[in-house]
Structure 1
Amino acid sequence: LNSMIASNTLPDLVTLGWWEPQVKQMIESGLVYSLTELADQYDPYFYEVADEAKLGWYREDDGQSYAYPNSSYSPSDYDKYPVMSNQTFLVKKDIYEAIGSPDMRTPEGFVAALKKAKEKFPMVNGQPLIPLGTTEFSDIGSDSFKGYLQNHLAIPFEKDGKIYDRDTDPDYIMWLKTFRQANEDGLIAKDIFIDKRAQMEEKVAQGRYFAMMVQNWDYQGQQKSLYQQDPNSVYIAVPGPANTNLDNPTLAGQGIAGWTVTLISKNTKNPERAIKFLSYMISEEGQHDIYFGKEGVMWETVNGKDTYLPDIYELKQKDNDAFEKQYGGMSTHWMFQDNAMFSKWEPPLEEPLKQPQEWTKPYVTYFGQYDDADPIPTSEEGIGVTKINNKWGQVLPQLILAKTEAEFDEVFKDYIAYRDQQGWDKIQQFRQNKYKINKEKLGLK
């Protein structure tokens, strides 16, 4: 992509993560069209199908919107459609019930449950039990021990209208110390620090984890496999780590920024056709075609409701990879997918995917106003954010593996001092200002 930008050889449409610096670069270099200017010139229908909140979110200082997101939820979508979160605390059903379905919301109960599971089930299918599974560790740490944990603890982004330092919240530190204690007790397997996604998927399929703080949707294939072998061997969502008050979690649903954004390059020979194509794809008609495909081949109407043909639906349930390769429905062509609108057509969830997803419903919280709040990576503050994130990637394993609580305190103290050296106060002020702008864009207080 960098080479195409440098040589001005971009294709007609460009889709990439909204956080990628090339998005800003293409806009500021004049390499992409303003979608709103194209709509004004060629396609007023665009304004009928585009979400104004999403256009507003991606509106630049010149008043124009150059990018349109997929997988984006505006605040109004939370009112119109059922919304669930992927952030779950999962336990292996058979093991959890065998040890008495313990309350794992407190540090004491959490560690006791891990210990009991390991004692009662030291081996699973001839392999050692892994008491706790997490997301992959990368250069910047693990989501399980950062945003996911903080959301389970209902730690706010702001207090009394001012940005709140979630990383120094007393409950958060208490739980990081709990994981350190779990490691001292032999309950944290070294696998979690080195395993990549492929290894983790394999171990989930083998049922080797007792508990996991992950995105449950990441393992739907493995869940189905376990369910087919034994419905009681699947992973279910239960209340996990909680704050001192045992408040309910505040689990993140999709935000306004979405996943990727699509831009129209000025290299396109037919900008009118490009904007009309985009309008069609984001319209309800286009979304229906993305989701269902061709009528009679992939779907039919039954009792007034559009639904996949039985053999198509069966393939989707049994082998999603084969479904996508053969038919390409649902989320296969994701560059314009509107997950909120998709929910109008989705069949009722079935086990084993139903319980973990529906468990999150009461706890879903809109955090879209806090999306895209970091400074650009090349700015002074942005460079500071990068250094702090990379430092956290080094510090997190040190905290969990610390031999004593005193060693933990020293490591954490040094990390906070490092943050300050990288301009933490300026970074937080930037985020505070961005929160204010974001709330104004979304019409939130």
Structure 2
Amino acid sequence: MKRMKPLALCGLLALSLLVTACGGSGSPDGNAGNAASPLPDTAGADSGKLDQAVWFSSIDFWNPPATWNTDPKSVQGAISEATGLSFEFNIPAQDGDTKLNLMLVSGKDFPDVLTVTNDVMVKKLIQSGKVWDLEEFLTKYDPESHILKDFPADVKAVIEERDGGFYSYPSHINSADARSVYPPSGEFYVDLVDYASNLGIMVNGSILEQIGMTLEDIRTEEGLLAAYDKAKGLKVDGTPVIPLLVDGKGYQDTTLKFLQDTFGAMVVDKDGTYRDLLLAPETKDALSFLNQSMRSGYFEPGQMTVDNAAVKADVASGRVFTFIGNTANTSFQLNDYWQSSGPILSAGGKAPTLDKSQRAGGGWMKTLISKDTKYPEKLAKWLSYMTSKEGMMLHIYGFEGEHYTLDDKGLLVKTEKGLKDAADYMNTAVSAIWPFHHTTFSYSVQQPPTEETDKEAVTANKVQAAYGKDKETHIYDSSALSLPADLFPANSDNANIETQIKAYKEAQIAKIVMSKTDDEFNRLYDELIDQLKKLGIEKLDAERNLYIQQKSDEYGVHTKGINS
């Protein structure tokens, strides 16, 4: 692994390490002095009844139990007992942002709690005046909330810079300020912070053994394609092996993005000037890999249209040889035959790249509170509880003695039931409340896992850290390279250009991947570049470059491309 500069405990991107965060960890003792003030046991009883709030989310693959369990011996029931609230989930199977936009326009059936990922949607909610600034909300309804006292300052600064105020509570907090309170409990978690990435290639070790090859054999583009050819003729339980599984209908953002990275693409050139990743010459290599795989029958076109549930089902089937994309959304860790060869070294010899921001993230999932809610006091107490040590120990890990125990250092060790119930979170609710998972907390309070104590976490670490830890991978600081979702104001010329480019590139990339000959591939790729320029991509890039140069000076981080 090559670095531009030493990376200590750098902050992970908001989307980072969903697998291990959701499989999570937590424990009291070692950080007792920094623990949040526990909510009084009678908090839920203040009104004398249990109220039901509506919780909307646009994340269609987040699947907490469909019906809230009010049994106090269940995780959800214990939350209700502590807060006086139960929840009805409204999670559309698709087009969640569209449905939320319609709610905003109609003003009807507006939910009490909203969890979204889209930064532009967050801005719309704020501009609508329908959601609370959390500082104002908590000051009014729960002035003793720990959030007002101990929320990580570096994360809050990022949120306020992005949104103009502290309007949303972020999921998977992981930052330097958070680590000053909750330091990693062992090197296992240091590896996750420094090297792990959700995007990557994972390899079915059982099938790899059957074809007589090793991880070292498939580290190169040539070697991997040769392995695909061998795996193509195999069957598992009478069903043909899938040599390559791409990441469903989101493949352009995940599968293609990893291939761009591993073949050496960066959003800045050798002069440090911004350019859309599609204009990086390494993108052609990434598209060529997908096209060769398609033409050779290593993956079927239909894979590019399916949803996440179908991807998960294939990953769990045992007949997928490799998956390339967002490993975090596959539940791969449930089967310990998954491994990773790290990078795919391109035939052109360019160095693989991995962007790691050293700035705090502002949250992958962002949770907001409606001003229309009938239960502001209870929701304030609930928000404080769910983000407290007591609350996180409950909703991430379950019940002490049943789902986990504490070792002689006060670190959490999951029981067999704890592991089983976390895997079955859609029914048990153990580890199901992703919007309040706290990565730094988990890495601090859980005993570093071993094959014996938590094979799933070990499997996840091996797969997700393999790319970053590889000696060939060039890790660079991308702190100044992240663009705000609303860099171009809505309905502006640039926003319209951006919309046109998005629609065009999605269709054209699919055509390129499905090209039947080399000549057709080259023709369609040249069309892509020519049309992007005609649509105005260079105009957008000029504006983006101004932004990243400003941020580069502000952060003191000037990044340059290493391959082109």
Aligning the two structures, in what range does the TM-score lie when normalised by the shorter sequence?
0.7 to 0.9
Say yes or no: does 1:424 pair with 2:537: yes
CA shift for structure 1 position 297: 5.1
In the other structure, the counterpart of 1:129 is 241
In the other structure, the counterpart of 1:307 is 412
In the other structure, the counterpart of 2:466 is 359
The alignment partner of 1:374 has SS state of: coil
CA shift for structure 1 position 300: 3.7
Distance in 1 between the 2:162 and 2:204 partners?
A: 50
Bigger shift: residues 292-301 or 201-210: 292-301
CA shift for structure 1 position 396: 2.0
Q: TM-score, normalised by structure 1?
A: 0.81
In the other structure, the counterpart of 1:230 is none
In the other structure, the counterpart of 1:241 is 344
In the other structure, the counterpart of 2:117 is 17
Classify 1:425/1:100 alpha carbon distance in 2 versus 1 (closer, same or farther; 3 Å): same
In the other structure, the counterpart of 1:36 is 135
CA shift for structure 1 position 373: 2.7
Contact 1:300 1:308 (C-alpha < 8 Å) held by counterparts: yes
Bigger shift: residues 103-112 or 367-376: 367-376
- Tell me which amino acid in the other structure corresponds to 1:238: S
CA shift for structure 1 position 237: 0.5
In the other structure, the counterpart of 1:5 is 104
Q: 5 Å matches for 1:47-62?
A: 47-59=148-160
Give CA deviations for 1:254-290 in whole Å, capped at 9, x if unaligned: 9713222122333346756655643443344443333
The alignment partner of 1:114 has SS state of: helix
In the other structure, the counterpart of 2:506 is 393
Bigger shift: residues 204-213 or 56-65: 56-65
The alignment partner of 2:217 has SS state of: coil
Say yes or no: does 1:410 pair with 2:546: no
In the other structure, the counterpart of 1:256 is 361
Give CA deviations for 1:69-117 in whole Å, capped at 9, x if unaligned: 1124346668954323222212221332333325334433332222233
Distance in 1 between the 2:235 and 2:463 partners?
A: 25
Contact 1:90 1:238 (C-alpha < 8 Å) held by counterparts: yes
Say yes or no: does 1:117 pair with 2:231: yes
Contact 2:267 2:280 (C-alpha < 8 Å) held by counterparts: no
Distance in 1 between the 2:237 and 2:554 partners?
A: 53
- Tell me which amino acid in the other structure corresponds to 1:187: Y
How many corresponding residue pairs? 427
Classify 1:290/1:434 alpha carbon distance in 2 versus 1 (closer, same or farther; 3 Å): farther
5+ long unaligned stretches in structure 1: 228-233
Question: RMSD in angstroms over aligned alpha carbons?
Answer: 3.6
Contact 1:180 1:400 (C-alpha < 8 Å) held by counterparts: yes
In the other structure, the counterpart of 1:73 is 174
Contact 2:213 2:227 (C-alpha < 8 Å) held by counterparts: no
In the other structure, the counterpart of 1:231 is none
Say yes or no: does 1:336 pair with 2:436: yes
Contact 1:87 1:252 (C-alpha < 8 Å) held by counterparts: no
Q: TM-score, normalised by structure 2?
A: 0.65
In the other structure, the counterpart of 2:256 is 146
Distance in 1 between the 2:554 and 2:153 partners?
A: 10
Classify 1:171/1:4 alpha carbon distance in 2 versus 1 (closer, same or farther; 3 Å): closer
Give CA deviations for 1:184-217 in whole Å, capped at 9, x if unaligned: 3343433423444343333333332222212333
Which of 201, 210, 220 does residue 321 from structure 2 map onto?
210
Say yes or no: does 1:156 pair with 2:266: yes
5+ long unaligned stretches in structure 2: 1-99, 559-564
CA shift for structure 1 position 388: 1.8
The alignment partner of 2:174 has SS state of: coil
- Tell me which amino acid in the other structure corresponds to 2:123: K
Give CA deviations for 1:392-429 in whole Å, capped at 9, x if unaligned: 22122221222222222221222223322332123223
Distance in 2 between the 1:278 and 1:165 partners?
A: 39
Distance in 1 between the 2:292 and 2:163 partners?
A: 53
The alignment partner of 2:412 has SS state of: strand
Give CA deviations for 1:15-43 in whole Å, capped at 9, x if unaligned: 22243x43212212322232334466645
Task: Specify which structure has the higher proportion of helix.
Answer: 1
In the other structure, the counterpart of 1:265 is 370
Residue identity over aligned pairs, in percent, reads 24
CA shift for structure 1 position 238: 0.6
CA shift for structure 1 position 134: 0.8
Distance in 1 between the 2:356 and 2:237 partners?
A: 34
CA shift for structure 1 position 144: 4.1
Give CA deviations for 1:274-318 in whole Å, capped at 9, x if unaligned: 55643443344443333234445544433132436635325237x
Give CA deviations for 1:222-258 in whole Å, capped at 9, x if unaligned: 653x55xxxxxx2211134234345354166897132
Contact 2:169 2:366 (C-alpha < 8 Å) held by counterparts: yes
Contact 2:480 2:552 (C-alpha < 8 Å) held by counterparts: yes
Classify 1:95/1:267 alpha carbon distance in 2 versus 1 (closer, same or farther; 3 Å): closer
In the other structure, the counterpart of 1:178 is 289
Distance in 2 between the 1:295 and 1:442 partners?
A: 43
